[in-house]
Structure 1
Amino acid sequence: MRKNIKYLKLICTLVLFLFFLLLGKQTAAEKSTQVNPDADIARSSLNIKKYGAIGDGVSDDTVSIQDAFNELANGQSLYFPPGNYKINDTLQFYGKQNIGIIGHEAKIIMTNNTKNIMRLGNGAGGASIRYHISGLDINGGSTSGYAIGVDTGGGTYMQNCIIQDCQIYNCNTGIYLGGDYNVILNNTFESCTKAGILNDCSSYALIEGNTFKTCFNSINLQLPYYNEVLNNHVIESSNFGILVGGTAKSEVHCLIANNIILGANNLVVKGLTGIWIVAGVGKVEINNNLVAYCGQHGIKSLGNDVSIISNRCYNNNVSGIIVDNCSRNSLIGNKCYDNGHDGIDIVNRGSNHLILNNQCYDDQMRKTQGYGLVIAATQFGCLVQGNEFLNNKLDGVSDGTYNHSKINYSFNVDGRT
C-alpha cells in the first residue's frame, strides 16, 4: 500500500513537472509574438533620430526633424521617440497626404516666441490631407503663434485630419483650423493666450473630449458650418468657453452638447461667458451643457433660431441664460438657479421665443437670483408655458406689467398672487 502511494506521488510529480515545462514554453512563445506598439510604429515609420535629432532638451533639432518630414512619402508616418526636442523655427509639415505624426512621450519645445510650431498649410496653396497627429506634447514657450495649424489665404487648407491625445500649452493659439472634415479629439490645452482651438471657416469639424485650462478663449468657431462641439471640459477661461461667431452665414447648423464649463475651484471667473452665440449667426443647438461660476452669463444668445435645451446654468455672476435682440429662440427644459442677477433674461427687441418647462429658482440662504424670468416689454409673440419660477429673491417673473398682452403665459408656477 505504501509502495503504491509512493509510486502515485512520483507520477503526480512528473505530471506537474511536464505541465509547468509546457506552460513555460507556451508563455515564452506568447511573449515572442506579443506586439510592442512603439516598436511596431518605429519599424513602419521614419524615425527622426535617424536624421540626426537628439531629443536631449539642449540640442537644436529643427533641421533634423524637418529633414525627416521632407523624406516622407505619402502614406508613411513620422515617429518621435521619447525625448525633449528643442526647435527654433516653424516645422513645415504640409503638402502631403495620408501622413502620420506620432510621438508618445515626446515633447516639442519652441525656443523662439515669434514662431508658429507646426504648420499644416502655408498660405500659398500648400495643403495637408488625411493627417493623423497623435501623442505629442507641445510647449510653445509663450509663442505668439499657434502650435498646430494653417496660415489662412491662398487656398491653403487641412482636410480630413485627426489631431488627438496631444498636450498643448503656452501658445497664442493651440490649434488653428482651416478646411473641412477635421477631428480634434481628447487633447489638453493649457495657458493659450488667444484660444485653445480657433476654427476659421471650417466645415464638418468635430471637437470632442478635449480639456481646456486657463485659456483666454477655449473654443472659438468663426464662420463654422456643421461643427459639433461635444463632451469638452473648460476650466477657468478668461473671456468665453465656447463662441460661435462670424457674420457671413445666418444658418451654421452647429451642435454644442454635453460640455462642462466652470470657473476655478467654484469661484466666479471675472469676465467669462460660458457659451456665446454672436449676432448674425443662427441655427445652433445648445443641449445638455453644464455652465457655472462664470463672471458674466452662463449662455448668451444674440442669434436667431437658436435652441437652448436641457442645460444647467448656476452660480453665474449675471444671468443663467440671456437672449438678447434676436428672434425665434427655444428655451426648453433648462435649470437656472442661484445666479447673481436672473435665471433667464429675454431683453431688448425680439419676437416669437418659446420658453417651456424651465426651472428657475434660488435655494441659497442668502438669495442672489432676482427673478426667475425677466422678459422685456419690447418682446412680442412669445410663449411662456409649463415653467417653474419659484423662491427667487424678488419674484418669479418681471415683464414690466404682469398682464403683458403680447406674451402668452400658461401653466406656469411663478409665485404670483
Structure 2
Amino acid sequence: MPTLIPNAKTYFADQNGRPLAGGKVYFYLPGTETKKDTFQDRAQTIPNTNPVVLDSFGEAVIWGTGTYRQVLTDANDNQLWDQITEDTSGGLIGNMTDNIFRAADGDFVPGTTTQLTLSAGPGSIENTWIYFGPLYQTDDGITLDGTVLTFPSAIPVGVDEVTVKIGSTIAIGTPGAATVTDSSVAPNAGINSSKLSFLQRGGGAVARTVQNKLYEIFSVTDFGAKGDGTTDDTTAIQNAENAVAAIGGGFLMFPEGTYLISNTGISKASKVDWIGSANGASVLKAAASVFSTAGMVNGSNLSGFEIDGIVFDFSAASGDLGLINLSMTNDYTVQRCQFVGNFKFGVSHNGGDRFIYRNNKFLRTAGATSQNQGLLVSTSAGPCRNGLIESNYHLNTGMDLSCQYTTIRDNQTYNWQFGAGITIEQNDLCSDLKIIGNTNIGGAGTDVNNTVCLGIENWAPRSQIIGNTCSANAGDGISNGGQDCQIIGNACVNNGQVSGNGITSRYTSASINGNYSTIAGNCCIDTQGSHTQSYGYADFNNSVFGVFLSGNVFTGNKLGGENILGTTAVATPMLHGSVSVTPGTLANGASAGGGFALSGSAVGDMCVVGYGADLQGVKLSAWVNSANNVNFRFENNTGASVSLGTQNIYIGVFKRFNAAQL
C-alpha cells in the first residue's frame, strides 16, 4: 500500500531555511534519467506533474511507492540536491498490533489496576512490548494467562496510558519490483544467501536456496586469494583446496588473475578439479625463488581429478622439480594448460596408471643441452600404464617417457636441444606403446650426454611407430632399439644435420635391440641441395638381426638408400627393372639372352622375370651375375622352332635371405 513521502504535505526549504516557493522536485528511477510518477492521492489515480512544482509555502502533496531518485531545484532550476529517497512503509508485512489502554476512558485506574485484558493472545510474554506512557517495561514479574496480562503491582499513579504491542513478527518493508538497487543496499550488507531462493529454468526444476546453488563450485577467491600478481596466494589456495577435499571433492575455480605461489608450493588433493579461464588468463606464477624441495603443485598417492585451463609461469623462478610434480597418481587429467619458463620439467609424473595429458603447451623460454623435458613420465616410483598423451605442443623442449600400454599421438615438438623430441626409455617397465602421428622438427646439436638430437628414440619393445613426421633434426629421424616393433608410414626427411639417418635399427645387447622389427612404407628422403641424411635406413652395427624392410622410399640420401650391416638382416624392398629385347626365332634346344644394369642388386638375390607376350612354352629365367648387374636367358625346349618378337622383359629382384634365417 502506498504511503506519504514522507508527510501528508511535504515541505521544502531553501539554503536559508525559507520556504522554497516555486521550487521543483523531479522524481526518477534510481540511478537513471527515467522519470518515475508520484501522485496527488493515496489511491495513486491522479499523477503529479514531474517535476512537482511547490506552492508559495514550499509545499506539495506527494504520494508514491518504493524508491526514487529525487532532484530538488529552486524556481530558476538551480539544483539543491540529488538524493535517493523511499516511502516509509510501503508493503509492510508482519503481525504486530497495538493494544492501547487509557485511564481517561476507564480502561484502568492508576494505583489500583493490576490486570489488563488484551484483544488477542500473544502466545508468550516474549511476544509483548509494554509501555507505561513513553517508558518501556521489562518482563520481570509480569505474567500472561491467555489474553490476561498481570502486573506484580498496580499501574503507578500518574500513568495515563498503557500501550501493549503484541505479535511474533516484526513488520518489515517489502520492496517493490526493481526498487532494490546498488544505491539502496549498503556495502557488505550481509544478506544471507540461505534466505534467497533459486529456480533453474526449464520444466521440472526444483527451487533451492542461492547458498545451496553456490556451494556447487568453490573459488580460490572465496578464501582470500587476490590474483593481483604481488600478493602471496599460496595459503589461500591451499585453504581452498583443503575445503573442497573436506567435503569429498568438487570444482575449484581460478578466476582470471595472476596468483603468486611461494616455493613451498601447493599440496594437491584427490577429487578436486581445478578450472581456469578458457583464454589463458588464470595464471599461477612461481615467486622469484629457488624451488628446491617442492614444485609449484605437488602430490602423491592421489586419484580422480582434473587440472584444466591453468597457466603455470616459472619464468621468474628456478629449480629441478616439475611445475606439477606427482608421484603414484592414478586416474587424472591435465589439459589445456600452459607451462612457461626455463623449467627443468614442466610436468613430472612418477608412477601411476590411467593418466591423460591433452592439448597442453610446454613453452620453454630457450632450448638447453642439459636435461629438460616438457613432460617427464618416469617409472622410478612404480609402473606407468594405460596413459594417453595427445595433441600437446612443445617448444624448445621435448618429452621423456617410460610407460606401458600408452598411446602417444598427434603431439608436436620443435627446436629442442636435449635428447629426442620423443624419448622412450630403456627399462623393463617400458613396452607396448602406440606412437602415432607425432611431429618432431628441428632438434638441434649435441647434448651433454653426447646424444645428437633426434626425432624419436624408442627402446620399448612391441611398439607401433606409425605415421610420424621427423624432419630437419641433428640426428636420426627415428632410432629404434625395441624388439618386435612396427615402424610404418613415417616421413623422415632431411635429418642428419649433424650426423644421422632416416631410420636406424639399434643394437646394444642381446636383449636391448631393434631386432625382429618391421620397417615398411616409410618415406626417408633428403630433398636438400646439400644432402645431410646419410641413409634412408641403416643398421647400427652388424649384430642387428631379423629386421624386415618392405615398400620404403629411400631416395636422395647422402650416402645411399640403405646401409645393411647386420649379417642376418633382411632387406626386401623389391628392385625393379626392364629392357626391350628381340629374341627372334629359336630352334628347338636353342637359347638367347643378355643382361642390363640394376643398381642395388647383388649376387645371391632372388629374381622374378616376365615377358610382354606369350612365351609359347619357351623358358625365361633371370639371375644376378655380379653386383648391380642382372642377366636373363630364353631357352626353347618345346620340340619345335618358336618365333618371339620385340617386347619388354620385366625383372624384380628381392634381396637375399641369410641362411641363418631360413
* TM-score range relative to shorter protein: 0.7 to 0.9
Instruction: Say which of 244, 247, 252 aligns to 1:78.
Output: 252
Partner amino acid, structure 2, of 1:148: I
Quote how far apart the aligned CAs of 1:351 are. 1.2
Q: Secondary structure at the match of 1:65?
A: helix
Equivalent position of 1:298 in the other structure:
477
Q: State the distance in 1 between where 2:337 and 2:240 align.
A: 21
What residue is the counterpart of 2:355 in the other structure? 182
Please tell me whether the aligned partners of residues 548 and 569 of structure 2 are also in contact (alpha carbons under 8 angstroms): no
What is the rounded CA distance, in whole Å, between the counterparts of 1:291 and 1:410 in structure 2?
35
| Whole-Å separation in 1 of the counterparts to 2:284 and 2:223 | 16
Q: CA deviation at 1:305?
A: 1.1
Seen in structure 2, the aligned counterparts of structure 1 residues 54 and 191 have a Cα distance that, compared at 3 Å, is same
Could you tell me how far apart the structure 1 residues matched to 2:535 and 2:302 are?
47
2:372 equivalent to 1:194: yes
1:166 lines up with 2:337 in the alignment: yes
- The aligned residue for residue 340 of structure 1 is 533
The SS at the match of 1:71 is helix
Q: 1:143 aligns with which of 307, 318, 328?
A: 318
Q: How far off its partner does 1:139 sit?
A: 0.8
CA distance in 2, matches of 1:149, 1:300: 29
Separation in 2, partners of 1:388, 1:120: 60
1:108 corresponds in structure 2 to 284
Q: Which amino acid aligns with 2:318?
A: T
* Post-superposition CA distance 1:282-326 (Å, at most 9, x none): 111100001001000000012211211000000101201011223
On the 8 A contact 1:371/1:396 being kept in 2, the answer is no
2:408 aligned with 1:229, yes or no?
A: yes
**Per-residue CA shift, 1:329-361, capped at 9, x if unaligned?**
110000000052111102311211110000011
Structure-1 separation of matches of 2:555 and 2:476: 16
Please, which of 556, 562, 574 is the counterpart of residue 386 of structure 1? Answer: 574
Give the counterpart letter for 2:425 in structure 1.
G
Q: Give the root-mean-square deviation of aligned CA atoms.
A: 2.8
Give the distance between the partners of 2:599 and 2:298, measured in 1 at CA: 54
Deviation of residue 77 (structure 1)? 1.4
Residue 130 in 1 paired to residue 304 in 2?
yes
Q: Give the Å deviation of 1:235.
A: 0.9
Please report how far the alpha carbon of residue 33 of structure 1 lies from its aligned counterpart in structure 2 after TM superposition: 6.3
What amino acid maps onto 1:302 in structure 2?
Answer: G
Partner of 2:425: 245
1:147 Cα offset (Å): 1.2
8 Å CA contact 1:309, 1:332 repeated in 2? yes
In 2, the alpha carbon distance for the partners of 1:90 and 1:396 equals 66
Between 1 and 2, higher relative CO (CA 8 Å, sep ≥ 6) is seen in 1
Question: Residue 321 in 1 paired to residue 503 in 2?
Answer: yes
Structure 2 residue identity aligned to 1:50: D
Letter paired with 1:118? V
Query: Match for residue 17 of structure 1?
Result: none
Provide the C-alpha distance between the structure 2 equivalents of 1:53 and 1:410, rounded to a whole number of angstroms. Answer: 77
Query: For residue 272 of structure 2, what is the aligned residue in structure 1?
Result: 99
Q: TM-score, normalised by structure 2?
A: 0.49
> Greater shift after overlay, 98-107 or 269-278?
269-278
Aligned counterpart, 2:551: 357
Deviation of residue 182 (structure 1)?
0.6
The residue identity in structure 2 corresponding to 1:402 is: A
Return the offset for 1:385. 2.9
Paired position in structure 1 for 2:82 = none
Whole-angstrom CA distance in 1 between matches of 2:599 and 2:352: 47
Question: In the TM superposition, what whole-angstrom CA distance separates every residue of 1:195-240 from its partner, at most 9, and x where no partner exists?
Answer: 111111310110000000001xx11112x11011000011111121
More helix by share: 1
Q: What is the distance in 2 between the residues matched to 1:88 and 1:56?
A: 14
Instruction: Rate the CA distance shift 1:168–1:354 in 2: closer, same or farther, 3 A.
Output: same
Residues 194/410 of structure 1: CA separation in 2 closer, same or farther (3 Å cut): farther
- Checking the alignment, whether the CA contact within 8 Å between 2:234 and 2:266 is kept in structure 1 is no
Question: What is the CA-CA distance between 1:388 and the residue it aligns to?
Answer: 8.2
Give percent identity, aligned residues only: 22
Separation of aligned partners in 1, 2:214 and 2:339: 23
- Alignment of 1:58 with 2:58, yes or no, is no
Contact between 2:312 and 2:340, CA under 8 Å: does it hold in 1? yes
Matching residue within 450, 458, 461 for 1:277: 458
Determine the C-alpha separation between the residues in 2 that align with 1:236 and 1:388: 39
Q: How far does the alpha carbon of each residue in 1:245-303 deviate from its partner, in whole angstroms, 9 at most, with x for none?
A: 13224x71101000111118xxx65532100013xx31111000010010000000122
Aligned to 1:8: none
Aligned twin of 2:562: 373
SS at match of 1:109: strand
